Amino acid sequence: PELRDLVSNMTDEDIWKLNRGGHDPHKVYAAYHAAQNHKGSPTVIIAKTIKGYGMGKSGESINTTHQQKKLDLNDMYYFRDRFNIPITDKQVENLEFYKPDEKSEEIQYIKERRKQLGGFIPTRRTKTKALKTPATEIFESSYLASGDRELSTTMALVNMLTKILRDKEYSSRLVPIIPDEARTFGMEGFFQKIGIYAHEGQKYEPVDSEQLSSYREDKSGQVLEEGITEAGAMSSWIAAGTSYSNHNIEMIPIYLFYSMFGFQRIGDFAWAAGDTQCRGFLIGATSGRTTLAGEGLQHQDGHSLIMASTIPNCVTYDPTFSYELAVIFEDGLKRMHEKQENIFYYITTLNENYKHPAMPKGVKKEDILKGMYLFKEINNKGKTKVQLLGSGAILNEVIRAAEILSSDFGIDSDIWSVTSFNELRKDAIEIERKNLLNPDKKPEKTYIEKCFEKRTGPFIAATDYIRILSEGIRNYVPGTYVTLGTDGFGRSDTRKNLRKFFEVNKEFIVYSTLSTLVKEQKIASKVATDAMKKYNIDPKKPIPTKL
């Protein structure tokens, strides 16, 4: 009787038109109105809805709605009729979108509501006030030789950042972010200079308070020292890297981390950074599978550059020398913060100390940035000549191998510093596509082809990363191409032993070159077999990937 009384004034048609509360605009409005006008306590609105509402027999009120890939024609007619969408049968069949006229009551209502709520959201600012790149003098000191001083590329980067902090326009825009390893990276000088951000300031006396570079927290500190939380550090980096769009303030976030604990741990955040058009620097410090010696498979990175390569707007580099790093970093500042390109950089740096040469005469900055340049030619009128490619930590092994090939075997070589296999591959794919789409025009040459145009092979490439990195350019190398890399798990051992184990040391580079020359019938096989014995290379040694 009570239910009958509730609908006593309704016809059968009215009853059939009754809707679930969550789909009834009058009920939703009434509930919202009641919630707004209720004072003194929170209001919870429980709105009952139907899964797959409006899909008819294809999916309405059916558990498998999420698996429904498409509607048949009758279901689409039903959907149109049910929601009074003014389109013809033909438009339904063509799956045409319908948008009410700009002057329609619906559009006017939506725009008025949005206006009252502060405008359209989400909205995106693509440009902000550009930052002029710091004076070139800041970077030019890195073009010089280090003399007798040995340093790592991580330390070279910290030296550069210290100089940039003296630039009035840039100093307040830098956001150094460290998850845990400030002293490992030699960044303790930042503690006193710009302080570590702490929203309540420093509440204790640090154990190193009597030292010159003691731990200093400050309400206005600039360093974000996040503790051991890569996800939190990356989130801070994204917040600063999208500040130009969200807050109209161009910031320069620089997040330094153990390279193994970057993309591998926060890969989805890195993808989100690309998606949100983030700008900034990710620094994979202590990079290279054999370079971070003694820390085993958890720490030794041989694949972060491959992970980074999956993000379209991530620009990656693996420099060896401080002048390469300076050229790359300056260009990154110019592209992201002066030209305002929506890209971000992943640069690997090393913890291995060695002497750094001056930038060779004739080397162009643009060649370093393109991904490869001729570092040195060894021309002693040898029996034959080879092309040796190296990057990051292993370039020094390649240089030593070239010297051995010349002095012990009379083989000349061209030594190529590959600052980015990934950027070389991007260029090659772009040119390849351009040629594919223009069959009536003379094919353009890739940058790799231009570099090797007048060079004779074979081509031997060695890196501190798994071989797929250097394999990425195989299609564009005009000759026999042999790649050496660090496929397999890391090991706790010395750099020397690790490089021997992974077969990327100078001796194995020499042997690989000789073995390849044998296959090309340019030298006798005895030369290679003698070298195998000389360098104690065991042909029965298990491949590193199976250990």
Q: 3-state secondary structure string, 124-159? A: CCCCCCCCCCCCCHHHHHHHCCCCCCEECHHHHHHH
374 and 231 co-located in one domain: no
452 and 329 co-located in one domain: no
Lowest-confidence range among 19-28, 141-150, 417-426?
19-28
275 and 303 co-located in one domain: yes
What does the alpha-carbon distance between residue 157 and residue 186 come to, in Å, rounded to a whole number? 10
Report if residue 26 sits inside a domain.
no
509 and 429 co-located in one domain: yes
Single-letter code of the amino acid located at 394? I
Whole-prediction pTM value? 0.86
Q: 355, 390, 415: which is the final residue of a domain? A: 355
pLDDT at res. 404: 97
424 and 340 co-located in one domain: no
Is 76 or 348 the better-scoring residue by pLDDT?
348
CA distances from 25 to 33, 47, 50, 91 (A): 12, 11, 14, 27
Residue 68 confidence class, pLDDT cut points 50, 70, 90: low
Q: Mean of the per-residue pLDDT values for the chain?
A: 92
Report if residue 523 sits inside a domain.
yes
432 and 526 co-located in one domain: yes
Residue 145 near residue 356 (C-beta atoms within 8 A): yes
Contacts of 255 (CB under 8 A, 6+ apart): 177, 178, 179, 233, 234, 236, 237, 280, 281, 282, 283
pLDDT at res. 170: 86
pLDDT over threshold 90, residue 275: yes
Residue 188 confidence class, pLDDT cut points 50, 70, 90: confident
- Residue 386: strand pairing partners: 413
Residue 394 near residue 506 (C-beta atoms within 8 A): no
Residue 196 confidence class, pLDDT cut points 50, 70, 90: confident
Residue 199 confidence class, pLDDT cut points 50, 70, 90: confident
Report if residue 76 sits inside a domain.
no
What does the alpha-carbon distance between residue 47 and residue 78 come to, in Å, rounded to a whole number? 24
In this prediction, residues 266-287 reach a mean pLDDT of: 95
Summarised one tens digit per residue, pLDDT across range 116-139 is 988 887 778 888 999 999 888 889
What does the alpha-carbon distance between residue 383 and residue 410 come to, in Å, rounded to a whole number? 6
Residue 216 confidence class, pLDDT cut points 50, 70, 90: confident
Summarised one tens digit per residue, pLDDT across range 406-453 is 999 999 999 999 999 999 999 999 999 999 999 999 999 999 999 999
In this prediction, residues 180-198 reach a mean pLDDT of: 74
Among 236, 218, 217, smallest CA distance to 178 is for 236
pLDDT at res. 67: 67
Give the domain CATH number at 310. 3.40.50.970
Residue 60 confidence class, pLDDT cut points 50, 70, 90: confident
In this prediction, residues 510-528 reach a mean pLDDT of: 97
What does the alpha-carbon distance between residue 475 and residue 80 come to, in Å, rounded to a whole number? 53
pLDDT over threshold 90, residue 307: yes
454 and 326 co-located in one domain: no
HSE, side-chain direction, 13 A CA sphere, residue 460: 29
DSSP 8-state secondary structure symbol assigned to residue 357: P
Is 165 or 508 the better-scoring residue by pLDDT?
508
Single-letter code of the amino acid located at 303? H
Contacts of 386 (CB under 8 A, 6+ apart): 405, 411, 412, 413, 414, 457, 458, 459, 460, 513, 516, 517
Cis peptide before 122 (omega within 30 of 0): yes
Report if residue 454 sits inside a domain.
yes
Report if residue 109 sits inside a domain.
yes
Report if residue 22 sits inside a domain.
no
119 and 141 co-located in one domain: no
115 and 164 co-located in one domain: no
Q: 285, 320, 355: which is the final residue of a domain? A: 355
Domain boundaries, position 106: 86-123
169 and 315 co-located in one domain: yes
Give the domain CATH number at 409. 3.40.50.920
pLDDT over threshold 70, residue 64: no
Residue 125 near residue 245 (C-beta atoms within 8 A): yes
Summarised one tens digit per residue, pLDDT across range 325-356 is 999 999 999 999 999 999 999 999 999 999 99
pLDDT at res. 182: 66
In this prediction, residues 250-279 reach a mean pLDDT of: 94
Report if residue 261 sits inside a domain.
yes
Q: What percent of the chain has pLDDT over 70?
A: 98
Q: Would you tell me how many other CB atoms lie within 10 Å of the CB of residue 109?
A: 10
Q: 123, 149, 179: which is the final residue of a domain? A: 123
Interstrand relation of 372-378 and 411-418 (parallel, antiparallel or unpaired): antiparallel
> Which of 296-335 are b and which e, b meaning 16 or more Cβ less than 10 Å from the residue's Cβ?
eeebbbbbbbbbbbebeebbbbbbbbbbbbbbbbbbbbbb
**End-to-end CA separation in angstroms for the chain:** 80
344 and 393 co-located in one domain: no
Lowest-confidence range among 271-280, 288-297, 508-517?
288-297
Number of domains observed in the structure of the chain:
3
Report if residue 132 sits inside a domain.
no
Angle at which helices 395-409 and 506-519 cross, to 10°: 60
Burial of 54 (0-12, 13-18, 19+ CB in 10 A): middle
Summarised one tens digit per residue, pLDDT across range 223-233 is 888 878 899 99
CA distances from 525 to 458, 511, 531, 532 (A): 16, 11, 10, 11
> Which of 259-283 are b and which e, b meaning 16 or more Cβ less than 10 Å from the residue's Cβ?
bbbbbebbeebbebbbeebbbbbbb
In this prediction, residues 241-260 reach a mean pLDDT of: 93
334 and 429 co-located in one domain: no
Lowest-confidence range among 54-63, 335-344, 353-362, 388-397?
54-63
